[in-house]
Amino acid sequence: MSKKKLSRGVALVGAGMSKFGAFPGLATRDLFVEAFQEMLTTIDKGIDPKDIEALYIGNYSSDLFEHQGHTAPIMADWTGLAPRPATRIEDACASSGVALRQGIIAIASGLYDIVLVGGIEKMSDLPTAEVTDTLATASDMLYEIPAGFTFPGFYAAMGTAYMHQYGATPESFMHVGIKNHNNGTLNEKAQFGATIRKIMDGKIAKAEAKGYPVPDWADEVEFLQDNRANPIIAWPMRLFDCSPISDGAAALLLVSEEIATQFTDTPLYIIGSGQASDVALHDREVLTSIKAARLAGQEAYEMAGVTPADIQGAEAHDCFTIAEIIATEDLGFFAPG
């Protein structure tokens, strides 16, 4: 297959994000408006929102989470952009990443010059069992779900395969959670914004204040090993191995390369993008690597003309701690294991 490239350049000139958390009383559209308004303020030289030509909105399951289908036109309407074409992209956890890619493709095709890309999810209205059911619909309802698998369960199964193959332990996964909670403190919009140490110290202080037995965790790992502090969701994935049930939205503005400097003197050019699909977990040749991620990474690297060694920073998908470990290997930052 010949090397894929964009027909013309695409640049990112604005980005906004809502606060992430659990927000009873707020709907998806409220969070998207929040992200959209912030995005407008980040465009150095400003924009007339009416110049936006199309929207690509990533959303996994407003249908089940909020009982709201046909979500993209509502986002267009609430941001004052109706009747522009508004398309929802559903690709499970990758929905918004694929929406970004569709926005890139739409501009590269020459059809549009200014495109709004959104990512939206409002998960917290449902009770946990129904959130579990909703997430599980991203797997094969005929042949995987009858086995009792949940979405955390799939990654947990990859985790046991990984432990078996490479000698990892549940503690190996805990260190990813500790690191990512540290990173979360650097972002004021993060859902928790607290280190595991701070969460642990908070529980100790609370026990002391209430006169309860004070836990004797020596460090974060001991805290994370405690079934009461960190209950098992799907072994070896525990609560702090799993991304929380979250509400939030993000908005990006993409423009064609030719007009990018009308919006900012420092546009971020998109130099590579990749996408692939994969089969049910039981049909994969290996259970400790995700082929779609490897192929998508290769495509993006080839398009950009770079190698993993050139990458200085990455945000890998970490729905579960094991997911980030596998992603960083599939993207070529670390050897397997």
From the list 37, 87, 132, 328, which residue makes contact with other proteins (rule: CB under 8 A)?
A: 132
Task: Please say which residue, 142 or 335, places its beta carbon nearer to other proteins.
Answer: 142
Tell which one of 1, 25, 41, 128 touches other proteins (CB under 8 A).
128
Least Å from the CB of residue 136 to other proteins: 6
DSSP 252-304: EEEEEGGGGGGT-SS-EE-----------GGG-S-SSS-HHHHHHHHHHHHHH
- Give the number of residues in contact with other proteins, rule: CB under 8 A: 39
Find the part of the chain contacting other proteins (CB under 8 A) among 7-15, 48-56, 84-92, 229-237: 229-237
Residue span 235-274 as binding mask against other proteins, x where in contact by CB under 8 A, dash where not: xxx-------------------------------------
* 58 vs 170, beta carbon nearer other proteins: 170
Site string for other proteins, 271-310 (x = CB under 8 A): ---------xxxx---x-----------------------
Q: Which stretch binds other proteins (CB under 8 A): 23-31, 42-50, 88-96, 145-153?
A: 145-153
Residue 273 near residue 97 (C-beta atoms within 8 A) = no
- Kind and range of the H or E run holding 99: helix 95-108
Computed on alpha carbons and rounded to an integer, the radius of gyration of the chain in Å comes to: 21
- Judged by DSSP in three states, 182 sits in helix
Instruction: Report CA-CA distances (Å) from 188 to 14, 90, 185.
Output: 18, 28, 7
234, 249, 251, 260: which one binds other proteins (CB under 8 A): 234
Site string for other proteins, 147-186 (x = CB under 8 A): xxxx-xxx-xxxxxx--x-----x----------------
- Site track for other proteins across 94-113, x = CB under 8 A: --------------------
| Whether 51 contacts 263, CB under 8 Å | no
Amino acid code (one letter) for 25: G
Based on CB atoms, which residue is closest to other proteins, 159 or 267? 159
List CB contacts of 334: < 8 A, sequence separation 6 or more: 328
Q: Tell me the pairing of strands 268-269 and 10-17.
A: antiparallel
Residue 3: name the closest of 257, 272, 254, 270 by CA.
272
Tokens coding 181 = 């909670």
Smallest gap from Cβ 279 to other proteins, in A, equals 9
Beta pairing class for 114-122 and 54-58:
parallel
Positions in the binding site for other proteins (CB under 8 A): 128-130, 132-133, 136, 140, 142-150, 152-154, 156-161, 164, 170, 231-237, 280-283, 287
